[in-house]
Chain A
Amino acid sequence: MLETFKILLPASVLIVAALICFLGGTTKISKQVWGPFSLLSLALASVLLIAMPQILSGSTPLPGDSTAVIFDPLARISEFLALMVGVLFAGMAFRQEADDESAPEFYGLLLTLLSGLMVVSVANDLILLFLGLELISIPTYILIYLGKRDTRCQEAAAKYFLLSVLSAAVLLYGLSFLYGMTGSTNLTTIRGVLQQTYGVTNGTVQAASVSKLGIVALVLIFAGLGFKLAAVPFHFYAPDVYQGTNAWNAGLLSVVPKAAGLIALIRIVSHTMVGYEGFGQTVALILALVTMTAGNVLALLQTNVRRMLAYSGVAHAGYMLVGIAVGFWDSWNPTFRLDPIYGLPVGIQASLFYLITYSLVSVGFFAVLVFLARPGKEIEHIEDLTGLWKSQPWLAIAAAIFLFSMAGIPPLPGFWGKLALFGGALSVRGDLSGAIPYPNPSFVALAIVGMLNAAIGGVYYLRIIALMFLHDPLSTPQPRGGRPAMAAVTLCAIVTIVFGLQSRPVLTLLRDIDQPTAIQVATTPKSLPMTAAK
């Protein structure tokens, strides 16, 4: 039991800090302290996370079957992501919320939400995982409402609340099927049971045909998590909510739920549902195709900058699903493990890699919007950015770096992400019987559609860049974001460039992700066949 608490330590720090925020908000303590306080708690959580291997080293690992949490490479990198994103967003809010009445609540909610993402990262149990997802959703409802209090915002909050609750119900329903099939909520146990029943022995030979219940479960889980990812057709809330709320909230929405959705998807489906790879691959493939195409095409038509970014976020979710689909194929055919492309990962790792690159530039670009916003006057129309280069040269350059990265222009991180995703899709083999495997037509189609989509994406990203650089300003912006937002922009821009030139540290973290951890392998021989194939 002790391990569980140890692993949950960083998340617990944030929860405790959030509670202090909520309680302290009722006292007469200055509203100014909560920003630094939350940054401090994030720093403490980061220290604990970095020291986690040392913290865990003394204790004897429990059998994977009975642990509700797990600290594997996936958990580690996701928690790091959560903390980094948290630091950036907490910093960005400094100026905005410093003199606001609701500052303590605001920071408390942010910390709660981040702890939710951290719980999702480490959860090895369906119930805990669901709890983590809800810990993200519930503060978000309030944050959207706190952001700005007009009818648009109320509509956005209500819309997000209703759809989110619906998706949670769908997800829970799916999870209940999974429980019904296997009799456990523990992911390791579920995986073990499924492995014994439907385990792939070699190639595509399956021990038994899969149960229909699992298919229902898989579809419902995809639907429930598709909402978090903003995958088509579960994306309808995104544009309205992004537009209705402020830039800070929209930025948070564009990163945290997506990350949670992707991590949960990898945990529940990719890593657990043995035997359903073939079906999952088809679902992910279709979702990816539809999501990226619809997202990009709809983004083309937008004139509101947050609405456009919402659709662009939909499109990026589509790219991430490409990696999920490839990952299914990869674990379906362990004998034909895909090679890393130039050291870049393929499959699930590529998805996570893309998630990190996307989060980085998305946070960066929203930080630009936060910096430019004034109280009650957000950057609404993309033409509000016109001529930014003349008034704020560095900001415009940073924004261009983020947008070029989203468009996938080398050597920025977005390019490496796309190389990993679509290179992986191309490496998927079709006909396995012949001496030389032909490429898999559906994945080749996916790669081609993906590349055409990247070109469509280029059109609307370039439109913003053209407005910023090639036109004269319509009015002089009076940015109110202040130094913290500027610092966030600068930090993201520098990291984007460095990451583009050298992504090695991230790749080292990603390396072991789709292999079950040492703790599990040592204690649960059931999961061995998958690892033995490596």
Chain B
Amino acid sequence: MTSEPFILQAMVILPLLGAVGVVAASQMGVGLKFIRQLVLMNVLITFVLSLGLVTGYDPTKVNSSGQFELYQFKSEIMWLGSPSNDVDPSAPKIVGPDIRISLGVDGISLWLIALTALLMIPAVLVSWEAIQERAAIYYALMLVLESGMIGVFASLDIILFYIFFEFTLIPLFFMIGLWGGYDRRWAARKFFIFTLAGSLLTFLGLIFIVLSHSWMLEAMTGRSAPLVFSIPHLIEHFPRLLAEPQNAAYWANVSPWIFAALFAGFAIKVPLFPFHTWLPLAHVEAPTAGSVLLAGVLLKIGSYGFLRFALSMVPGACWWALDFVAILCVIGIIYGALLALAQDDIKKLVAYSSVSHMGFCMLGLFAFNNIGITGGMLTMINHGLSTGALFALVGMLYERYHTREIDAFGGLATRFPMFAFCFIVVSFSSIGLPGLNGFTGEVTALLGMFKTRPVYGILSLSGIIFGAWYMLQLVRNTMYGRVKEPLTEGHGHPATAAHAATHTAPDASHGHAAHSDGHGSDGHGHGHAAPVFATHHTDLNFRELAALAPLLVLIVWIGVAPQYFISKMEPSIAQVVKGLEAARPANK
């Protein structure tokens, strides 16, 4: 039960070093096999470190003044600058950037960091065979992305948070744009620009929070106050400042504007309806690992931003915006589900279901009570697990058949029993079957909303029904019924043959066309598959099972006994709720 800050620092730095190592290794002519192992090792070590973080985080830890010590594993390094004293206004102001590399976790970021570290494992494993071209750079980008994502959640400094927030765009842009699907270039640019446009306004909002803090402090103490960028410091001190009536009046006037600025970036990131249009494109075009990380982690940056900044720092404005956001959530839940229902591509279906699920998550957060926010947090984790797993599964299917069309498949349960088992478990988790994780998250989120605004809870219940509808339809059509497999020969997929050849036998020449003879005409390739099909049309192999296993374990674990997870986040959420309750307007 140690709280060694180096664990967190290492989690941010290690992937970066790994990225440098991978590029260096490939420059020295090291083969792909070794590079993949190096990457996997790196990701596994980071994951083990995250376990240390999870077990070491003690939610009941009390500091010397008898208060909960929410932020642990804290470390603060000046960015090569000299310290300027934030807290003591009389200290001289020192010129030079003293951006602090200030890291730490609380019960909220803890789980998101662990989720990131966990999802990197399937992300690497699903890329194992799929990425052959310029693989070293691909893995390097992925590791840089991991570092950025962990950094976002671990930052306790507003500027540092923003740096990581924007920095995650660059590796993902290249991952989508270089290794993505047919429309990858447009998808990459749209993703980048949507996110950038919103986040720039968010940045103004964040700076304005800092400025307002300084001004209010100045008005209260009568002395010139420094600009404070420390997130825990701001969260802790705002209530104290707002006790002053004039500060409260000021804050009531400006905080809706701040909320609007924060909303611009985070709502695009989540995404809330109607800012979701970048999402299906980016998810569908991204390579499998990109989709897993995009859905699993990057969307959570939006909801995390709401929780960390909007709900914690401008709670009054959140009450003001409650109905607006909740209506957008409800529309997103229903609209996303309906769109998912209408898709004929499995990956698109999963992408639209994300819009729906993230609506639940945001609805939970905007319930403004313990149970709702806990539900929202659980939904974040659950969605990361189940959607990550779904994208990984779809990727595996695509690797086998090079199509994702729902109509092309049928009866896969008899062809690939393991695959079908995993797919069905994950689908049920996504639907919210009691006993699996989706249920715990969405039900607690909705319970919270029922307490605050029953009407939105009732409306969004229909989203659960739609969710069951499209997922079950998908499962029925692809897993059960008559066995149906896509044709792999002469299918207007000129790339298919060459690709399949590289997948099955990396050393084989690209002109390997012999494998498609007589296959798929009757849909029963099982018996007469040549040895070259060994990995092509068989059930999940060990690597793929290893990618899915940790996700499945957690899906069941959170479904059966979420208490372990909830207990660690409880005090942090209680602090947010305390602030929200204090800011609750009389008429709401």
Contacts and interface: CB of A to CB of B under 8 A. Distances in A.
* Residue from A462, A501, A503 having most chain B Cβ neighbours under 10 A: A462
A455 B170 CA distance: 15
Nearest to A400: B170
B229 interface: yes
Interface of A: 339-345, 404, 407-411, 415-416, 419, 422-423, 426-427, 429, 434-439, 447-448, 451-452, 454-455, 458-459, 462-463, 466, 469-471, 501-504, 507-508, 511
Contact of B215 (A340, A437, A451, A503): A437
A457 B119 CA distance: 33
Interface residue tally on B, bucketed by range: 35 or more
Contacts of A437: 215
Contact of B192 (A345, A411, A452, A458): A458
B95 A511 contact: yes
A439 B253 contact: no
Contacts of B177: 466, 469-470
Query: Which of B159, B167, B177, B184 has the most chain A CB atoms inside 10 A of its CB?
Result: B159
A448 to B, nearest CB: 7
Q: Is the interface of B mostly helix, strand, loop or mixed?
A: helix
B162 interface: yes
B195 to A, nearest CB: 10
Given A471-B185, A508-B95, A342 B229 contact: yes
20 contacts: A342-B99, A342-B159, A343-B81, A343-B97, A404-B170, A407-B196, A410-B166, A410-B167, A416-B97, A419-B159, A422-B204, A435-B246, A438-B250, A451-B203, A455-B200, A462-B189, A469-B178, A502-B97, A504-B96, A507-B97
A340 B178 contact: no
A366 B249 CA distance: 52
B200 A454 contact: yes
Given A455-B197, A458-B196, A507-B95, A426 B208 contact: yes
9 nearest A-B residue pairs (beta carbon): A455-B197, A451-B200, A410-B163, A470-B177, A436-B250, A343-B97, A504-B96, A436-B219, A435-B219
B84 A470 contact: no
Contacts of A427: 211
Nearest to B180: A470
Contacts of B342: none
Given A410-B166, A455-B197, A426 B211 contact: yes
A503 to B, nearest CB: 6
B215 A502 contact: no
A503 B97 contact: yes
Contacts of B3: none
A466 B185 contact: yes
A466 B188 contact: yes
A377 B519 CA distance: 54
B201 A448 contact: yes
Nearest to A458: B196
Given A341-B207, A409-B170, A451-B204, A470 B185 contact: yes
A462 B166 CA distance: 14
B427 interface: no
A240 B98 CA distance: 43
B247 interface: yes
B169 interface: yes
Interface of B: 79-81, 84, 93-99, 159, 162-163, 166-167, 169-170, 173-174, 177-178, 184-185, 188-189, 192-193, 196-197, 200-201, 203-204, 207-208, 211, 214-216, 218-219, 224, 226-227, 229, 246-247, 250, 253-254
A342, A407, A427, A459: residue with the most chain B Cβ atoms closer than 10 Å: A342
Q: Is the interface of A mostly helix, strand, loop or mixed?
A: helix
Contacts of A504: 80-81, 96-97
Given A501-B80, A504-B80, A409 B166 contact: yes
Which of B80, B95, B170 has the largest count of A CB atoms less than 10 A from its CB?
Answer: B95
A415 B162 CA distance: 11
Contacts of A344: 97
Given A448-B201, A455-B200, 19 more contacts: A339-B93, A342-B229, A343-B81, A343-B84, A343-B98, A419-B207, A422-B207, A426-B211, A427-B211, A436-B215, A439-B254, A452-B197, A452-B200, A454-B196, A463-B189, A470-B177, A470-B178, A471-B185, A508-B96
A502 B189 contact: no
B247 A436 contact: yes
Nearest to B227: A339
A135 B188 CA distance: 46
A511 B184 CA distance: 46
B227 A341 contact: yes
Given A339-B227, A462-B193, A426 B204 contact: yes
Contacts of A438: 250, 253-254
Nearest to B203: A451
Given A422-B204, A422-B207, A458-B192, A436 B80 contact: no
B201 A451 contact: yes
Contacts of A415: 163, 166
A125 to B, nearest CB: 30
B230 to A, nearest CB: 12
A415 B166 CA distance: 10
Nearest to B201: A451
Contacts of B189: 459, 462-463, 466
A501 B79 CA distance: 8
**Residue with the highest number of chain B CB atoms closer than 10 Å, among A415, A466, A507:** A466
A342 B206 CA distance: 14
Contacts of B211: 426-427, 439
Nearest to A511: B95
Nearest to A456: B197
B205 to A, nearest CB: 10
B167 A409 contact: yes
A458 B193 contact: yes
Contacts of A448: 201, 204
